[in-house]
A and B are shown apart, each in its own frame.
Chain A
Amino acid sequence: MSTEVMLNEFKEISQHPYRVLSQYKQEGKKVIGVLPYYAPVELVVAAGMVPMGIWGSNSKTISMAKEYCATFYCTIAQLALEMLLDGTLDQLDGIITPTICDTLRPMSQNIRVAMSEKLPCIFLAHPQNRKPSFGLQFTMDQYNHVKAELEKISGSAITDEALREAIKVMNRNRAARREFVKLAGEHPETISAVTRSAVLRAAWFMEPVAYAQKLEALNAQLSALPVQPWKGRKVVTSGIICDNPKLLQIFDDNKIAIAADDVAHESRAIRVDAAETGDPMMALAQQFADQDYDVLLYDEHSNQNRRADYVVDLVKKSGAQGLVLFMQQFCDPEEMEYPYLKKALDDAGIPHIKLGIDQQMRDFGQASTAIQAFADVL
């Protein structure tokens, strides 16, 4: 299969998650919606069900969700609720609602209330003190709750063996994504910003094994390509999500390649694997404990600026000339960490721009001007 054909397949899936969901249902599979962030999809896989990431929508308009939300909530969460209310996600068999930010806390309640007669909602509260033994224990307690709820939906018990297998599947899936991110940074002439996003976005909709296989095949072809000199610029992207093709087209139009990312929807979600041996539930808890450098997570070395230093290091190692921060509107965790990110970038002499975005954006004129101007200074 040619690279182009494979890329088109990823694009198709990325653009039409509803079709993918319908396909799984036709095949008799059960599908569990997974809201951001850090839900243990391994448990869904181990239960023989399909995890489907829900990160809002670039084409829907907030309407019914207004019955639950004031305007000052992130559009990702509001549009997730919108799709639950308007029937887009009616085929789901359950949904996992993590609560690690201040919007997701009350949203977990709104979703549970709104879906009370429609869909089982599986609540998940991660700990912030996640590294000490009591934090690991609490993560396991929470994951055991998720496991029990998933078992009710699937109708069968999740064995340790199945969970260990699922961990292997997800490790493989994450490894393929990490490899792709690296290859995409090396081959911007083949992988445009729009395409890169489509491939990574498809990961949230496809069955993990099938996705890993397909991506490994693509990666094999990309690694066989000779590295060509890139005439444009390279940047690192940062933020919660930047999967709008129209926005990313501006990068491609200005020959700005994405060398690496610090994006929750992309690399932040795949940095850490779980151990494939030992107690699998502990392996998942340890995996969450090992997540770091994230605006959403408590840093026990908070008097240092570790997260920003990590991002600066990422820029340097990736060979990027600057950083583009996609500031999701109303995302206070990102906003809270911006001053210290800016400081570290400035200290390191790395230029950056902060682009305010949300998923209701339809006009990218202003963003286009800002990105063009930024490309000129790189």
Chain B
Amino acid sequence: MAKEVSPGVKALRKVVEDVYADARKAHAEGKLVGWSSSKFPCELAEAFDLNVMYPENQAAGIAANRDGEIMCKAAEDLGFDNDICGYARISLAYAAGKRASRKFDPETLEFIIDPSTGKPLKDENGNVVIDPETGKPKKDPKTMQPYTVLDDIYEIEALPETTEKEIAYKNFRREAIKPYRQMRMPQPDFVLCCNNICNCMTKWYENIARMRNIPLIMIDIPYNNTVDVHDTNVAYGRAQFDAAIHQLEQITGKKFDEKKFEHACENANRTAKAWLRVCDYLQYKPAPYSGFDLFNHMADVVTARGKVEAAEAFELLEQDLAEAVKNGTSTTPFPEKFRVMFEGIPCWPKLPNLFKPLKANGVNVTAVVYAPAFGFVYNNMDEMARAYYKAPNSVCIEQGVDWREGICRDNKVDGVLVHYNRSCKPWSGYMAEMQRRFTKDLGVPCAGFDGDQADPRNFNEAQYMTRVQGLVEAMEANMANKEAEGK
């Protein structure tokens, strides 16, 4: 039976679907579509009614759909080193026109099925059907997929279309591109870059601007060395907002609509607050859901935080969670024995592999750093500038530790699982010191593992399993000690 999905989760899924669908529609109608970094002040684009897509969210989706590797390799073939962030590689390949597509026979225009795909066929009693010839389980043909191949939309568009056969082939090749939303995102007409999360973003977006010969709006948020954001930083951020508004006026040919901007700000604040309250439900013991669910809801806070629908959907989810707490239910599919903070971006291509040993050991993720990372709450433009300085990789170590230790305490974690993310140098760059502080300040064990947010080649499952096992043993020992002290 399919897992029951709560109304809030359904609403959140629809919000993201709609954001993509609206952008596809706008693009088809010849309207402008922009690409934006996840922590660019979306309020500005909202004030101009612009359709904006988010390459980080897209790359995560492509990676979760198992196309991270083919897209990363496509970028490498364009000359981008495999050391570069996996999201950036996926996005750059996509911007260049590369697509994960389905293999087909050009003569018959039929997909060529990959025999290694598909789920086992089950009979009416739910038992796996064994193929008498091979002695192995039969595959359910409905779940089998064509081979994945790389294609290029610009190559497709350059194809001739004079004969009927040519037209049919061209159309089929267009439609063979994988049909999920992240692989059907429109190409950009302008790009919005805010480098508060990394400087890689700057060059990533410059490359896109160059590839597509489109304008780039740059909001530069320099790295911070103090917990308080200095007034001079706020002034610099604020002045760039004004410059960005001016650039957007030029791109759109419209005047900045202050009312719409204020409305977007209201929505963004409402979404951020609802998001933070949803995150806080992880404080309950046992938690009514898992931090892994929160990773899924990030898509909303990234792509739609300036929209009222996102705020409403999170508020709906909040109600679901209140109900779950009241009824003592949880979406976590196992009894919660240990509670951990998951540090870093998840390895999207390997989510099931990440989840497996956690489930086996009753480890629930009850804290993720994304909770505070998207909680941009402010009352005016200066405060908004200040808020955008507080992104995960733009803050000093003290702020980073304080955020994490805050959620570790509030969400009552027994340990910390640290993802040394090969894609993210600024994030992973001070984790060793942070780990030492977590253990010293909170008395909880930490375990690190090597992985990647998008490139599956950088994840070593055997190492991960060992590290999780080590963490579980340390948490068990900690608990036993506490119990002994209590007696």
Chain A interfacial positions (CB closer than 8 Å to B):
67-70, 72-73, 99-103, 105-110, 112-113, 123, 125-129, 132, 134-135, 137-138, 141-142, 295-296, 298-300, 302-305, 327, 329-330, 332-333, 335-340, 342
Q: How far is the CA of A303 from the CA of B95 in the complex (A)?
A: 13
Beyond the given A127-B222, A134-B240, could you list 13 further A-B residue pairs with CB under 8 A, ordered by the A residue number?
A68-B432, A72-B83, A102-B198, A102-B199, A107-B429, A110-B433, A125-B224, A296-B199, A303-B215, A332-B425, A338-B81, A339-B79, A339-B80
Q: Say yes or no: B425 contacts A303, CB within 8 Å.
A: no
For residues 415 through 429 of chain B, which have their beta carbon under 8 Å from a beta carbon of chain A?
A: 420, 422, 425-426, 428-429
Find the A residue at minimum CB distance from B78.
A339
27 CB < 8 A contacts A-B: A70-B431, A72-B83, A72-B422, A73-B425, A102-B425, A105-B198, A105-B393, A105-B426, A106-B428, A109-B225, A123-B225, A127-B236, A132-B239, A142-B232, A295-B203, A299-B206, A300-B218, A302-B210, A303-B209, A303-B213, A304-B210, A330-B425, A332-B85, A333-B199, A333-B203, A336-B203, A339-B207
Chain B's nearest CB lies how many Å from the CB of A304? 7
Q: Say yes or no: A128 contacts B428, CB within 8 Å.
A: no
Chain B residues within 8 Å of A73, by CB: 425, 429
Contact with A along B203-226 (1 / 0, CB 8 A): 111110110111110111011110
The 6 closest A-B pairs by CB, nearest first: A106-B429, A339-B79, A134-B239, A125-B222, A302-B206, A336-B203
Find the A residue at minimum CB distance from B203.
A336
Residue from A73, A103, A107, A129 whose CB has the most chain B CB atoms within 10 Å? A129
Q: When A128-B195, A134-B240, A336-B203 are in contact, do A141 and B425 touch as well, CB less than 8 Å?
A: no
Q: Say yes or no: B428 contacts A70, CB within 8 Å.
A: yes
Residue from B198, B225, B243 whose CB has the most chain A CB atoms within 10 Å? B225
Chain A residues within 8 Å of B204, by CB: 336
Chain A residues within 8 Å of B232, by CB: 137-138, 141-142
Q: Say yes or no: A105 contacts B433, CB within 8 Å.
A: no
Chain A residues within 8 Å of B210, by CB: 302-305, 340
Q: When A108-B223, A298-B218, A300-B218 are in contact, do A103 and B429 touch as well, CB less than 8 Å?
A: yes
Does residue B397 face the partner (Cβ distance < 8 Å to A)? yes
Residue from A101, A105, A123, A333 whose CB has the most chain B CB atoms within 10 Å? A105
From the candidates A68, A302, A340, A342, name the one contacting B216 in the complex (CB within 8 A): A302
Q: How far is the CA of A132 from the CA of B199 in the complex (A)?
A: 19
Does residue B235 face the partner (Cβ distance < 8 Å to A)? yes
Find the A residue at minimum CB distance from B195.
A128
Q: Say yes or no: B195 contacts A137, CB within 8 Å.
A: no
Q: Say yes or no: A109 contacts B433, CB within 8 Å.
A: yes
Chain B residues within 8 Å of A342, by CB: 79
Q: How far is the CA of A295 from the CA of B428 in the complex (A)?
A: 22
Chain B interfacial positions (CB closer than 8 Å to A):
78-81, 83-85, 88, 195, 198-200, 202-207, 209-210, 212-216, 218-220, 222-225, 230, 232-233, 235-236, 239-240, 243, 393, 396-397, 420, 422, 425-426, 428-433, 450
Q: Say yes or no: A338 contacts B425, CB within 8 Å.
A: no
Q: Say yes or no: B236 contacts A137, CB within 8 Å.
A: yes
From the candidates A99, A100, A129, A137, name the one contacting B218 in the complex (CB within 8 A): A129
Find the B residue at minimum CB distance from A299.
B206
Find the B residue at minimum CB distance from A101.
B199
Residue from B205, B219, B222 whose CB has the most chain A CB atoms within 10 Å? B222
Q: Say yes or no: A72 contacts B425, CB within 8 Å.
A: yes
Q: How far is the CA of A108 from the CA of B396 in the complex (A)?
A: 9
Q: When A105-B429, A335-B84 are in contact, do A99 and B222 touch as well, CB less than 8 Å?
A: yes
Chain A residues within 8 Å of B225, by CB: 108-109, 112, 123, 125
Q: When A68-B430, A298-B206 are in contact, do A303 and B199 touch as well, CB less than 8 Å?
A: no
Find the B residue at minimum CB distance from A356.
B81
Q: Say yes or no: A110 contacts B429, CB within 8 Å.
A: yes
Q: How far is the CA of A48 from the CA of B233 in the complex (A)?
A: 29
Chain A residues within 8 Å of B222, by CB: 99, 125-128, 138, 142
Chain A residues within 8 Å of B219, by CB: 129
Q: How far is the CA of A329 from the CA of B81 in the complex (A)?
A: 10
Chain A residues within 8 Å of B431, by CB: 70
Chain B residues within 8 Å of A106, by CB: 397, 425-426, 428-430
Q: When A127-B236, A339-B80 are in contact, do A70 and B432 touch as well, CB less than 8 Å?
A: yes
Chain A residues within 8 Å of B207, by CB: 336, 339-340
Q: Say yes or no: B433 contacts A68, CB within 8 Å.
A: yes
Chain B's nearest CB lies how many Å from the CB of A102? 4
Q: How far is the CA of A85 from the CA of B219 in the complex (A)?
A: 36
Chain B residues within 8 Å of A110, by CB: 429-430, 433
Find the A residue at minimum CB distance from B244.
A129
Find the A residue at minimum CB distance from B236.
A138
Chain B residues within 8 Å of A296, by CB: 199
Find the A residue at minimum CB distance from B396.
A109
Chain B's nearest CB lies how many Å from the CB of A145? 9
Q: How far is the CA of A99 from the CA of B79 in the complex (A)?
A: 26
Q: Say yes or no: A128 contacts B218, CB within 8 Å.
A: yes
Q: How far is the CA of A129 from the CA of B431 in the complex (A)?
A: 29
Chain A's nearest CB lies how many Å from the CB of B183? 22
Chain B's nearest CB lies how many Å from the CB of A78? 11
Chain B's nearest CB lies how many Å from the CB of A171? 27
Q: When A103-B425, A123-B225, A138-B236 are in contact, do A336 and B195 touch as well, CB less than 8 Å?
A: no
Q: Say yes or no: B236 contacts A336, CB within 8 Å.
A: no
Q: Say yes or no: B84 contacts A336, CB within 8 Å.
A: yes
From the candidates B83, B220, B422, B428, name the one contacting A298 in the complex (CB within 8 A): B220
Chain B's nearest CB lies how many Å from the CB of A62? 13
Q: How far is the CA of A129 from the CA of B233 in the complex (A)?
A: 13
Q: Say yes or no: B239 contacts A127, CB within 8 Å.
A: no
Q: Say yes or no: A332 contacts B236, CB within 8 Å.
A: no
Chain A's nearest CB lies how many Å from the CB of B216? 5
Chain A's nearest CB lies how many Å from the CB of B241? 10
Chain B's nearest CB lies how many Å from the CB of A132? 7
Chain B's nearest CB lies how many Å from the CB of A142? 8
